[in-house]
Structure 1
């Protein structure tokens, strides 16, 4: 079975390949094609994968290409993890937003809108090519902003595109761990949009264990979200928010922390990964060991400004291992082998959340089988979440409209309507500054 990885020169590709190496089941992936626009990055990542495969019998065969059509032909699964504009683009997204006094983050607020505006046209082109060259393929989208990009691609691929994210998985794992439950046997009642969701219950054997956590301040404060948000706030909500909601609930503190940081996250990763790719190009260096060192530093510094502003301390060791590659592998297994699995995914809403229309992509538990991902029935959104989810979904729709029409006025509207952008004049400034910084936004007129 052929898996094509778009963004195949990306830093996290070895996580996906490592998961594939551990899969020995029938119908597993036997061929991996890496596609990227940067041949140098492809060579570096190919070296890492070759070292990973050493001593592994029947390891999936890896090839690399810069030809997108060649990469897509014959694919059973397409894993999309592209970054339009690279990490320099992310650094610019953050810089422009922070200079305007609003949040600079790659998926949330102004930075997420800018990233979406330049990513959606590329993602739509990919979706059209998949529909033409590999109509039976399933697309697994990890490209950020994941919910927005998945919705853009779904307009051309329907339910054959499914978005994934490791944030809900990590959150559910942490809650189960602190409650002494096995995450593999716990049902996580999670609902919302990508990077904008809440755990409302964690059921083990049909019993909801979340009230026990919320009722014990010491237990609640013993894991990352408890320290990040504060136990009083979590008990007021009656739910555990995705870590990205810290940008909403503590916006002023986060913006201040980001403005005071020596470098933005994007600039840090840009410089860090530049060092890795340069090191991995040296034939005398173990590319795998260089990658391992870089990944450990990357994970340890994740959301460091948020944790510092909240006094949350360092990340726990168990949370440094990632997880999206496990979601991707579980999703592929369930579809390819018709092995039923329940996963939290980004899919079209249908009738799951009544406040949103059927085509709106939401992030909810889904039953996955050979027919794809089917969202499970869910209780209505909590009252405190409804307005925020609807507002952000409306912003996503404005981004899609601007990307389709090329309307600068609609792009301004997208920024102005976001809850974390507090002025129409700031929205106009952001569009001007982003258009100047990103040639990929030249289509906005």
Structure 2
């Protein structure tokens, strides 16, 4: 079975290789890395080959700049690309702060900027996958903003699912707090991508989340970056909620500290130096600072379920289809779901009124943002920004629209 990785020249790829190398019985015999940057592939490709060989995995590793060749006959295509590279991310994080808003690559104006330049590229790739991959091939999207990218893919009729590592991070940390093996636990994870809550932690037919919060409220607060009052209703917000619940403090911090993009650029420069060592045959420890903890575990486990229909539960981005009744059916939500040849939400405890209002507001923004990415146009960008709950003012939306288009013009053909 062939798996293709689009954006295979990413510094993340050795993490994915470790996961595939550790996965028994997945049936991958060809792993093809696809990237427009040949120089990156020529470093990452040999490293991935060495990682799999150290693991005793028999898969043949190839790398190519030819998209059609890369996806030809693939059973699954993984998307992990970054249009514009770290330079574009740094710009996404800068211009919103200058306007008094959070600058972050998936939230607010920065997230919309990334979606605008990413979604058209992803849709072009998906059309090649439709033509060249194996019948029934899955597109698995890790590319941010995952929810919006997944919605664009589904709107265009592709067989796609989105994946984020937030849920598996909570899963592992909650297991450690409870002194349990993570395999014993199942989480109810509900919301939108990067706007999610853990609403239950199930084991032995019981919900252990009340016990966990009673015993470890301070540790959970540290994980979320938010005070315990924000999860007093028994629903634990992801770290990304601090952009909403502590917006002004975060903007003030961002005004005085280097952005995450600049820090990642520094880490990546060192990773490339390490990756070039022909003796390296495992992911270096530094990669853990790059972000994406447990990414390989989540990706490989989801691939196993998609390709073997084992019915395991994963936190994925899928159509709403009535699960959250206050959202349109076509909205894309992030939810614990049982994965077979079809995907069915499995979470039992959902969101309360405080969460529902915010989710509905951001879902409306995402709908408008996808339309702006697909159809282009300054007015559509403005409409999406005006709908975002962190913006919501005409003067601010108008200023951000101008700054966004000016910063990203190189990647916005309609501009």
The answer, yes or no, to whether TM exceeds 0.5 is: yes
Shift of 1:155: 1.6
Shift of 1:276: 3.0
Q: TM-score, normalised by structure 2?
A: 0.94
- Report what 2:205 is aligned to: 206
- Report what 1:295 is aligned to: 287
**What is the aligned length?**
414
- Report what 2:163 is aligned to: 164
Structure 1 residues 227 and 11, CA, compared in 2 at 3 Å: closer, same or farther? closer
What secondary structure is seen at the aligned counterpart in 1 of 2:62? strand
Structure 1 residues 171 and 397, CA, compared in 2 at 3 Å: closer, same or farther? same
Q: Distance in 2 between matches of 1:20 and 1:198?
A: 29
The answer to whether structure 1 residue 220 and structure 2 residue 204 are counterparts is no
- Residue pairs, 1:4-19, within 5 angstroms: 4-19=4-19
Shift of 1:378: 4.3
Shift of 1:396: 0.8
- Residue pairs, 1:410-425, within 5 angstroms: 410-425=380-395
What secondary structure is seen at the aligned counterpart in 2 of 1:350? coil
Q: Distance in 1 between matches of 2:44 and 2:265?
A: 16
> Structure 2: 5+ residue runs without aligned partners?
none
CA contact (8 A) 2:320 2:333 kept: yes
What secondary structure is seen at the aligned counterpart in 2 of 1:59? coil
Q: Distance in 2 between matches of 1:265 and 1:227?
A: 17
- Report what 1:330 is aligned to: 301
Shift of 1:48: 1.9
Q: Deviations over 1:313-364 (max 9, x none)?
A: xxxxxxxx81121111111112222322111111111121111122211111
Shift of 1:381: 2.5
Q: Distance in 1 between matches of 2:29 and 2:154?
A: 27
What secondary structure is seen at the aligned counterpart in 1 of 2:150? helix
- Report what 1:315 is aligned to: none
Shift of 1:178: 1.3
Q: Distance in 2 between matches of 1:81 and 1:55?
A: 24
Structure 1 residues 293 and 174, CA, compared in 2 at 3 Å: closer, same or farther? closer
Q: Deviations over 1:198-249 (max 9, x none)?
A: 1111111111111223334xx21134546721223322x3211111111111
Q: Distance in 2 between matches of 1:23 and 1:296?
A: 20
Structure 1 residues 332 and 293, CA, compared in 2 at 3 Å: closer, same or farther? closer
Q: Deviations over 1:31-60 (max 9, x none)?
A: 011011111111111132133134443431
Q: Deviations over 1:70-96 (max 9, x none)?
A: 111100010100111111110010111
- Report what 1:183 is aligned to: 182
- Report what 2:256 is aligned to: 260
The answer to whether structure 1 residue 244 and structure 2 residue 240 are counterparts is yes
Shift of 1:181: 3.0
- Report what 1:272 is aligned to: 267
CA contact (8 A) 1:72 1:78 kept: yes
Q: Distance in 2 between matches of 1:394 and 1:8?
A: 32
- Report what 2:153 is aligned to: 153
> Which of 180-189 and 133-142 deviates more?
180-189
Q: Distance in 2 between matches of 1:172 and 1:56?
A: 25
> Of 375, 400, 405, which residue of structure 1 is paired with 2:370?
400
> Which of 97-106 and 180-189 deviates more?
180-189
Q: Distance in 2 between matches of 1:226 and 1:417?
A: 29
RMSD: 2.0
- Report what 2:227 is aligned to: 230
Q: Distance in 2 between matches of 1:343 and 1:72?
A: 25
What secondary structure is seen at the aligned counterpart in 2 of 1:198? strand
CA contact (8 A) 1:201 1:209 kept: yes
